[in-house]
Structure 1
Amino acid sequence: MENEIQQIRSFNRFYTSHIGMLKNNFLDSPYSLAEVRLLYEIGEYKNITSQQLTELLYLDKGYVSRVVKMFLKDNIIEKIQSEEDKRAYFIILTEKGNNLLKVLQSKSDEQIEEIVQPLYADEKELLINSMSSIKSLLAPDYDKIKLAQNVKFREGLKPGDIGYLIYLHGKLYTQESGYDKDFEKYVIKTFSEFLENYSLENDKIWLAEYNQQIVGCVAILHRSDEEAQLRWFLTLPLFRGTGIGKKLLNTALDYCKEKKYKNLYLLTTSVQEKAIAMYEKAGFVKTESVESVQWGQTLVEERYDLRLI
């Protein structure tokens, strides 16, 4: 934990310095960063109260009150009494305030362009994706379900996908099941066979991506006119329990029904308890069970079948 804390502190120091947060006059305006942020929220929400500003920005009530008084004195905001509650006053920007905000936003845009200008396209993409992840993970209402709403699904392979899928299988199965390096060799072999015999018409693979990184996958391989195999069903731990795995599995099952396969089978080991629970819920039944020694462990290899017709 100590290392994580140091990394976050280091990032905070870098970021606050990089965007000029420590300057008294932010973006060459008469105001500090916190004051400009208040101004921005007033412009963004159109009708907002001092209390709402306090809650929105987690600021001290007295501080917000002092800034609002300063803004009133500078004629960049005005207060309008609420028709529903005569005790409440909405804060809105004056024409002068609107013009000032436009100037500040333009300067902010220029500052951002200057910061990212030296970066290549893929570096900008990495930056934006990282910022999106930070925003999602540190949001007050963060949960995995909301994070999963940004996951996108696609069918088919792009250059580099197979290599990344091999990496994910090797990493996750080592961490979670204790498999040795021979398992990764096995995964490489299975994907190699898949590519050698790949049929665009009969073999399908679906991927789930978050910020353009693969976080889940599933594939259907044609074995005969009546039977297919489900392979490489995987979801990263962060996205388990969010419906991502269920959607991938259902997509694969729907495809098999479309193709009118009579039987769908999969091979797994008894240690994959969570995945097996999902298979059984979908209707798969265990049909074979054999003990073997492989990948550094004594395992029970299992076959599950799903009758589709």
Structure 2
Amino acid sequence: MDIELSGLGPGDAEWLVDQHGQAYASSEGFDDTFAVLVAQILADFEARHDETCERAFVAWAGTKRLGSVFCVRVTAKIAKLRLFYLVEDARGHGLGQRLLDACTQFARDSGYDEMRLWTHESHKAACALYARNGWQLLSSKPVHSFGVDLVEQAWRIDLTPEV
């Protein structure tokens, strides 16, 4: 499958809100507040992102969107991985690794010293991918979010070159 990674384009934000909302409602029972959060993250990105140090990666196979990952600025030295998502049919074929690699390399190239992310323990495949790629679990705590009980996690990776 020939896959292209592009920036955020027309219709991508709406697609991402819809995909996140439907997928997490179906798989984890999330309520509508999750899609609202995704919409706010995307609105903030579209309104304020700095192209020199923030980027969206949207994966396409022909005319079909397959997923996304975003690199956003937290501080001058810390980036945040956001909106990492793959449609079900695209999972298990290495696209998640490719998106993670592209986002992490962009963060390195942009001068960030570390990258962080927030996720839930129930996202087992993503958490395993992070661990395999050198991300470290910083915290794990029970929460009630999006209408369900979850275990929220914070992860980080050091992006500074090894000496």
TM-score (norm 1): 0.50
Deviation string, structure 1 residues 5-51 (Cα, Å, up to 9, x no partner) = xxxxxxxxxxxxxxxxxxxxxxxxxxxxxxxxxxxxxxxxxxxxxxx
- Please identify the structure whose Cα radius of gyration is greater: 1
Aligned counterpart for 1:169 among listed residues 6, 12, 20: 20
Q: CA deviation at 1:260?
A: 2.5
Q: 1:225 aligns with which of 58, 76, 81?
A: 76
Shift in Å at residue 169 of structure 1? 0.8
Residue of 72, 86, 97 corresponding to 1:235: 86
Aligned-partner Cα distance in 2 for 1:153–1:176: 27
The answer as to 2:131 corresponding to 1:274 is: no
Distance in 1 (alpha carbons) for counterparts of 2:135 and 2:12: 28
Q: Residue type matched to 1:281 in 2? A: R
Q: Which amino acid letter does the alignment assign opposite residue 145 of structure 2?
A: Q
1:200 aligned residue = 51
The amino acid that maps onto 1:215 is L
SS of residue in 1 equivalent to 2:53: coil
Where does residue 8 of structure 2 map in the other structure? Answer: 157
C-alpha distance in 2 between matches for 1:289 and 1:230: 17
Q: Report 1:234-253 matches (<5 A).
A: 234-253=85-104
Question: Larger % of helix: which?
Answer: 1
Instruction: Identify the residue that residue 288 of structure 1 maps to in structure 2.
Output: 139
Structure 1 unmatched runs, 5+: 1-148
User: Does the aligned pair in 2 maintain the 1:155–1:204 contact within 8 Å?
Assistant: no
Q: Which has the higher contact order (CA 8 A, sep 6+)?
A: 2
Percent identity, aligned pairs only? Answer: 25
> Who is 1:32 aligned against?
none
Distance 1:198 1:256 in 2: 14
Matches of 1:174 and 1:197 in 2, distance apart?
A: 29
Bigger mean CA deviation after superposition, 299-308 or 283-292: 283-292
**Displacement over 2 Å in runs of 4+:** none
Residue 210 (1) aligns with residue 81 (2): no
Q: Does the Cα contact within 8 Å between 1:153 and 1:206 map onto a contact in 2?
A: no
The CA RMSD over aligned residues, in Å, is: 1.2
Q: Which residue of structure 2 aligns with residue 259 of structure 1?
A: 110
Q: Could you say which residue in structure 2 is the equivalent of 1:188? A: 39
Consecutive unaligned residues in structure 2, runs of 5 or more: none
Letter of the aligned partner of 2:88 in structure 1?
P
2-structure distance, mates of 1:260, 1:285: 20
Contact kept, 8 Å, 1:291 with 1:299, in 2: the verdict is: yes
Q: Which amino acid aligns with 2:73?
A: H
The letter for the 1-side match of 2:50 is: S
Q: Which residue of 1 aligns with 2:158?
A: 307
Aligned residue pairs: how many? 160
Structure 2 distance, partners of 1:295, 1:154, is 30
Answer yes or no: is the 8 Å Cα contact 2:52–2:110 preserved in 1. no
